[in-house]
Amino acid sequence: MKKIPVFATFGKLFDAVVENIVPAWHMTWPWLVPMGLVRLWAEVFTQATGPIVVGNIIQWDRIQFTAPILLFNFVVATLGTSAMAVMWHRYILLGEQREGPSRMRVDGTVMRYLGVGLLITLFMFGASFALGLVGTIASFLNIGLGLVVGLLIGVPAFIWLIGFVVRLQIKLVATALGQANFTFGNALDLTHGNTWRLAGLFVLLSVVLVILSLVGPAADLALKAIAILHIAYAGEMIHSLVNWFQTLLAITLLTMLYEFFVEEKA
């Protein structure tokens, strides 16, 4: 049973991203441009439409206009992220670097990757809902009991769930490599005994992602305060770049976990 070194892996993560930042940009910018433009379009459109809730009253007429735009933005972002993830996994593990129009290709591998990701997301939502339901029932019976259940059972259970989901995500990398016979069961077998370690690794990554998520709004406020740039929605452009780097960190971490557990590379 292999035990992943949490802090050593976390340290190597940034080295891996920095060392490969140039090919990462080369392969993914064709997706970043349409994703950024669609996101900006959705932002402008929703702001022009006006708030959905006014005086505690839902404006259904505005929802019917904004919902299709937001759905389209979600589809483009999901497809783009899946395509970039597949390219990045294959580049690190196989040395495969796509060029030209092939970087925008949405093939069967990308769609299977997206499908596996959605399955894992649905499982996470379902399990989280179940945990929340238990806490709600306990609180309904007795507030003190609800606090005890939430703190002593709910929080540890949710952290354990995070680690379990990370173990399942090993299949994402196998899917990107075209290993159709690699199952969720294989992922769980190979990562057995590492649930808490992987949960800790995810928590460390989450702290970094949260800090990075503050860069966009902070930069936007700074630019407006010093009046250097008068470009509308400059914050959205900065946010797109930050989001790209955050995605790159997460994808690289999954790739490293696959290397460690499946390919047994230190």
pLDDT at 238: 75
Distance CA 66, CA 46 (A): 6
Per-residue pLDDT tens over the stretch 44-70: 777 766 666 566 666 666 667 777 888
Decide: residue 101, CB within 10 A, 0-12 exposed, 13-18 middle, 19+ buried. exposed
Low-confidence winner among 110-119, 157-166, 193-202, 227-236 (lowest mean pLDDT): 227-236
For the four alpha carbons of 160, 161, 167 and 170, in that order, the dihedral sign comes to negative
Q: How confident is the model at residue 243 (pLDDT cuts 50, 70, 90)?
A: confident
Which residue did the predictor score with more confidence, 22 or 220?
22
Residue extents of the structural domains in the chain: 6-10+23-261
